[in-house]
Structure 1
Amino acid sequence: MYWIKISCILCMFGCFKDFRPSESFVTDYLTGPWKNFTVDEVNQDIYPVSTYSYLATLILVFLITDFVRYKPIIILCGISGIITFLMIILGRTVLVFQILEFFYGLYFSTEVAYYTYIYAKVDKTHYQEVTSHTKAAALFGRSMSGIIAQLTASFDLLDYHQLNYLTLAANIFATMWAFFLPTVDQSMYFHRVSISDDEQGKGPFDYQLTESTKCRCFAVSGMSLLRKIKNAYALLWKHFLQAYTNYRVAKWSIWWALATCGYLQVISYVQLLWQTAVEPGDPIYNGAVDFFYAIIGAGTVFCVGKVKLNWSLLGDMTLSMFSLLEGVILVVASYNYNIWFLYGVYIVFGVIHHTMVTVASFEVAKYISEDSYGLIFGVNTFFALLAQSLLTFIVVNKLMLNIRQQFFVYGSYFMILAVIYVLMGVVNVVQHYRSGEVFRLWTNDDDKSLSVTQNASNASDGTLSKSEHNGS
């Protein structure tokens, strides 16, 4: 089948893109004899740049991705990786590493093309399959890079500097492979094959959140560039309002963005925390930890998709419970000097995050148009990065806290998030009780009325009903 071919080609790119064995030991590499940076230089001068770069380039990259039809941005992703790891090998000064951190941020922002290419190229009936395939390919590449990094380092086959050559080679192969991706003839916003009358020429102030009873479409392939931009803007705004005026979408998206902010901050600086718990000459198992983290995370993400919990009732409480757990273990980690405990905290924290973000993803997907998956993914990521940049500026650059103080702040951050969602959970349960709804903790395959009813009742708020969702 054609869609399987597309999926395989894309997954091959994702697997090699995420095969970065040098990253398991990057902090030890930068502070070791190869580069001789101090911990403060790495923490305060080098690492924060990629956070700001990621934020600054994401939205622009997202819009350009749709305009140039995905493939060039996927290639740019590979090229950014090549530049980044080539500069890591050759660079010596803080300034050079700040420049490469800019390309590293661009490297991650261009990933949006990898994760949204499928929505423009593959039929909607295969969205779920190819989405899971691309995520699994990335996790597989990450797990393989972790175990190979650990084995080569433990048996003295390669040192931390030589691991960069493996990473560079993988990114070169991924970039070359990206040229085999089929070009995209249409896209979600700038190059649509057809567009409904409702979507034409509507701006943010005159658009009415209603759907036509009849969808009258016309071809846009010969449309002028200005007209395409105008209609793309109208459709972007329409999908944005339809999503975020829905209470359930907003609730899950806020947690998604704030939790991702904390997650990105933790994984960016965790190796600095590990350094404080090991003595010079002690064996380091960062690669093995990355391997187990990726493998266990892939398993839990797969399993949670099979769990039939009533997330509408239990979602807030579940988010608060796991956010509290993340906060507690991070606060404890900020005082603990047992490296094995810190490794365990990292694995548990990462697995919880990936599992609950997966839940948030499919809960959000219930209430939005299929065409807007990529947009919501990009917007949620943008707000996550905005929050992360603010957190980085205050905690790292302004207050200049040491690494253990930073992790105490990150743990407190998740505890505050837990308190917010436990309050929302109590309100949600009370509303269920007052509305007379049956308290069902589990759903089954026949219980489809929940989201359909919600969609229909909120049609006036811009939420798609079942028939509109299927007709998108």
Structure 2
Amino acid sequence: MHWIKISCILCVFGCFKDFRPSESFITDYLTGPWKNFTKEEVNQDIYPVTTYSYLAMLILIFLITDFVRYKPIIVLCGLSGIVTYIMIIFGKTVIVFQIVEFFYGVFMSTEVAYYTYIYAKVDKQHYQEVTGHTKAAVLLGRSMSGIVAQLTASFELLDYHQLNFITLSANIFATIWALFLPSVNHSMYFHRSSVTEKEQGKDTLDYHLQHSSNLQESPDVENGKTKHCFIVSSARLLRKIRNAYALLWKHFVQAYTTYRVAKWSVWWALATCGYLQVISYSQLLWQTAVIPGDMIYNGAVDFVYAIVGAATVFYVGKIQLNWTLLGDIMLSIFSLLEGGMLLGFSYSYNIWLLYCGYVIFGVIYHTMVTVASFEVAKYISEDSYGLVFGMNTFLALLTQSLLTLVVVNTLMLNIRQQFFIYGSYFLVLAMMYIVMGIINVVQHYQSGTKFHVWISDDDKSLSASYTSTVEPSKPKHDSS
């Protein structure tokens, strides 16, 4: 099947998976007459479960996604969404909604299959295009769900409870649609189409199987053949697992021992932690600023946020900027801006200021994480994309879980105190990168002579103008 058709089929799934209009008003739904939970129950007992569940499931899902060849996990993504919204519709107690949040964490963790499936189905020269397609599909789904949520709520066509049925229907359609995705015959690690001797190594089971003598058969020839087949089959499975994890470790070490990959990945993980925490608890903050009886515009905010974010992400890739020199400074400036806004949120009761700040905060995050994505991609092998992106997400969730445990479940701070902590968190992040940026710029101007930053692309070197006294060697990459 042509790669464009595969991309379109996957994007339809992504669009409907993220078409969830009920989420724009989920906090008001839970604290409203439909469920009657208190804000404290939602803040401290229900929402944190998603964070812990997401973290617990991500590594497991990430490891088995490649083994089962993506498609079953994509179907599981749809099924977990269906279970989540059925339970939301009929659930009444805190315990039931904690189970709901567990399944929602599974739903979120299975998205790794959606974002990595396409890399196993198309040629490497199309990676950049299909990555843009999948991200655009998700943003389209989010923007459409936001406008549908706002219009139905504003014109009183549907209440918050009825919006869950639209979300459930979209998830059912997405799950059925996922069944039509083409199966994956090979994958990045467990089912590689070809494995070089260097990747495999002469000490692997595959090598020994190919070079060993025939196994001795018992006098019963039929039983001997059965035993022989069983041993070989088991050995092949063990060989696949061993070789896959050896290659995973190799790619992991190659990626994270590269300074620029580590630097961008640290910001990516820590900023994602703060971003997830902010979007998870923003609706609770907005409730403190809304005057009872006033119209709520959460859906419209989600629509604007998705549309502006999509446009910004699209154009940031066209900006010609020396990110190697200025990256640290830009990260520190935007982290400082985000931290300042969050501190302002903790004191402001102007709902329009909170709405606008939320959009700006989200756009800044998506813009800079896109820069981090393509900067990291320059210094890793193409086969490592899913691994590095998955590890960065795991580190983000690990940090978020620790932050949630301390701020929400241990100190039990109210929502405004929480946002003060989140603002301080981004300010500390900004200070870290201000220091790195100053060191980087000082080293740049102390050197004074030109050199080139080498970027490997299938062993073909590209260069970008920069300044130093020494021309560095190309970063090592896996050529597999």
* TM-score, with structure 2 as normaliser: 0.89
Alpha-carbon contact 2:451-2:465 (below 8 Å) kept: no
Alpha-carbon contact 1:49-1:98 (below 8 Å) kept: yes
1:458 Cα offset (Å): 4.9
| Residues 455, 141 of structure 1: alpha-carbon distance in 2 compared, 3 angstrom cutoff | farther
Could you say what secondary structure the match of 2:195 adopts? strand
1:435 Cα offset (Å): 2.9
User: 2: distance between equivalents of 1:455 and 1:116?
Assistant: 35
Match of 1:339 among 348, 351, 354: 351
Alpha-carbon contact 1:333-1:407 (below 8 Å) kept: yes
Instruction: Within 5 Å, give how 1:111-150 maps onto structure 2.
Output: 111-150=111-150
User: 2: distance between equivalents of 1:82 and 1:102?
Assistant: 13
Residue type matched to 1:192 in 2? R
Residue type matched to 2:416 in 1? R
1:132 Cα offset (Å): 0.1
User: 1: distance between equivalents of 2:357 and 2:471?
Assistant: 39
Compare CA radii of gyration and give the structure with the larger one: 2
2:379 matches 1:367: yes
Match of 2:424 among 389, 409, 412: 412
1:254 Cα offset (Å): 0.2
Alpha-carbon contact 1:80-1:104 (below 8 Å) kept: yes
Q: Structure 1 regions of 5+ residues with no counterpart?
A: 204-220, 441-446
Q: Give the corresponding residue for 2:57.
A: 57
User: 1: distance between equivalents of 2:360 and 2:159?
Assistant: 28
2:267 matches 1:255: yes
Q: Give the corresponding residue for 1:2.
A: 2
1:434 Cα offset (Å): 2.8
Alpha-carbon contact 1:201-1:234 (below 8 Å) kept: no
The total of aligned residue pairs comes to 445
Instruction: Within 5 Å, give how 1:50-89 maps onto structure 2.
Output: 50-89=50-89
User: 2: distance between equivalents of 1:386 and 1:341?
Assistant: 31
Residue type matched to 2:123 in 1? D
2:321 matches 1:305: no
Alpha-carbon contact 2:345-2:354 (below 8 Å) kept: yes
Q: Give the corresponding residue for 1:97.
A: 97
User: 1: distance between equivalents of 2:147 and 2:449?
Assistant: 49
**For 1:193-221, what per-residue CA distance to the aligned partner results, in whole angstroms no more than 9, with x for missing partners?**
11111211489xxxxxxxxxxxxxxxxx9
1:46 Cα offset (Å): 0.1
Residue type matched to 1:159 in 2? D
**For 1:390-437, what per-residue CA distance to the aligned partner results, in whole angstroms no more than 9, with x for missing partners?**
000000000000000000000000000000000000111122123334
Alpha-carbon contact 1:304-1:359 (below 8 Å) kept: yes
Instruction: Within 5 Å, give how 1:5-20 maps onto structure 2.
Output: 5-20=5-20
Q: Give the corresponding residue for 1:424.
A: 436
1:222 Cα offset (Å): 11
Could you say what secondary structure the match of 1:449 adopts? strand
**For 1:25-63, what per-residue CA distance to the aligned partner results, in whole angstroms no more than 9, with x for missing partners?**
000000000000000000000000000000000011001
Q: Give the corresponding residue for 1:274.
A: 286
Alpha-carbon contact 2:343-2:423 (below 8 Å) kept: yes
Q: Give the corresponding residue for 1:352.
A: 364
Q: Structure 2 regions of 5+ residues with no counterpart?
A: 204-232, 453-460
2:463 matches 1:449: yes
1:166 Cα offset (Å): 0.2
Q: Give the corresponding residue for 1:228.
A: 240
Residue type matched to 2:85 in 1? F
Could you say what secondary structure the match of 1:313 adopts? helix
User: 2: distance between equivalents of 1:13 and 1:196?
Assistant: 34
Could you say what secondary structure the match of 2:383 adopts? helix
Q: Give the corresponding residue for 2:410.
A: 398
Alpha-carbon contact 1:17-1:141 (below 8 Å) kept: yes
2:401 matches 1:389: yes
**For 1:334-369, what per-residue CA distance to the aligned partner results, in whole angstroms no more than 9, with x for missing partners?**
000000000011000000000000000000000000
| Residues 223, 185 of structure 1: alpha-carbon distance in 2 compared, 3 angstrom cutoff | farther
* TM-score, with structure 1 as normaliser: 0.91
Q: Give the corresponding residue for 2:218.
A: none
Alpha-carbon contact 1:201-1:230 (below 8 Å) kept: no
1:246 Cα offset (Å): 0.3
1:456 Cα offset (Å): 7.0
Residue type matched to 2:427 in 1? M
| Residues 128, 151 of structure 1: alpha-carbon distance in 2 compared, 3 angstrom cutoff | same
Q: Give the corresponding residue for 2:390.
A: 378
| Residues 439, 341 of structure 1: alpha-carbon distance in 2 compared, 3 angstrom cutoff | farther
Instruction: Within 5 Å, give how 1:158-177 maps onto structure 2.
Output: 158-177=158-177
1:321 Cα offset (Å): 0.1
Q: Give the corresponding residue for 1:206.
A: none
Q: Give the corresponding residue for 2:151.
A: 151
